[in-house]
Structure 1
C-alpha cells in the first residue's frame, strides 16, 4: 500500500508539472497582449489627429484671400502695404494689401496657416512689444496716443464685406493668429486698448480678386528660396 500510494503521489506531481508551463505562459501572455492593444490604440489616435489637422482648412487645394493693413495711432493712418513678393510656402502678398493664402506645403495648412508665415515672407515680425518692419525700422508699443498707452494688437473681422464690430481682438501671441476663412480682414494696430480701429483700407481689392490675382499689372511672386532686396522694397545701390 505504501509503495502504491507513493507512486500515485509521484504521478500526480508529474501531471501538475506538465500542465503548469502553458498556464504560466498564458498568465504572462495576456498582459502583453493588452499592452500591445493599448499601444496600437494610442498610435491610431495620434495618426487620426495628425491626419485631421493636416486636412483642416486651408488645405493644399484652397485659395483664400484676406485684406490686411497696419494702423498707427500716432499718425492716425495706415502704413503702405508690404512690398515683398517673396513666397516660400504659399502665404504671401502682391503689394496689394491682401494676404494670398494658397499653401503649397502641408507645413502651413490647417492650424499651421498663421500670421507668422505671412510676416516671415514679408520680412517682418510681430510681438506684443513691437512690429519690426523690413529694412530694420519698427513700430514700438511704448508710446501714448490721446493720453493713453498704446499696445500692439491684431483686430480680426471674419467677413471683410460685412465689417461692423470686430470678431476678435488679439493681444497676445500675435504671430500665432490663424487664418480661418476666405475673405477675412486683419488690422495690425498700434493703438490704446478700446480705441476704434478701422477696417483695412485694402478691402476694395478683395472685390477684384480673380483666380488668385488682384489689381492690374501684378507680376508673379518670387518663389526663390532666398529673398533679395527687391522683395522688401529696398532700393539697390
Structure 2
C-alpha cells in the first residue's frame, strides 16, 4: 500500500483503456506517452484491482493489476521491443564454375613491315562485265612468306568489299579504303599456298563478285618463277 510502481511500455502510448472506478482505486497516472509509454500505479486500498489495456503503434498489451499488503514500489518494463523478423534465406549450392571457353582466334593481322619490304610486280589485270564497275588487280608484292595483292575498284569509293575468298576458303586478312573516286583493297595470302590453280574472288556488298586467276599465262614472269 501507498507504494508507487512504474510501468514502462515498449513503444509510444496511443491509448490507455481501463474502468474509471478501477483506475481511481489503483491510482493510475500517465507520466509520458513518448518515446515510450510510462504510467504509475499507487493503490489507495487493498481492494484495488483491475485490468488496463495499452495500445501502441504496433502492439496491444493487457495488464492485470492487484494491490498487495506488502512489498515496495519498483519500475517494471513490459514487453521488450519486438526484434525485426529474421529473413530466412536459402542458399542454393552454386555449380562449379566452368572454365571459360577459349577466345575465338581472329584473322592474322596485315604484316605491314613485310609489306614495306616486299618486291612489287605490276599486273594491271581488269575484270568486270559490261555495266559493272571495273576492278583491276594493279600489282602483287612478294615477301619471303606472304604475297599482297592490290586491287582498285574504279569509281567505287562509296562501296565496300564484304567477302574475299579463294580455293582454300575465305581470306580474312585484307584492308580497304577510299582513294579519290576509287576503292583500294589489299589482300594478304601465304606465298607457299599459291599454285597454278589459285583463284582470288572479291564480292562487293550489294554488288557483283570479281574473280582473278593467278596463272603464269595471265600474269608476269615473276609468277612463272613462283610456279616452277
Q: Relative contact order, CA 8 A, sep 6+: which one is greater?
A: 1
Hey, which of these two has a bigger chunk of helix by percent?
Answer: 1
Q: TM-score, normalised by structure 1?
A: 0.26
Computing the radius of gyration from Cα coordinates, the structure with the larger value is 2
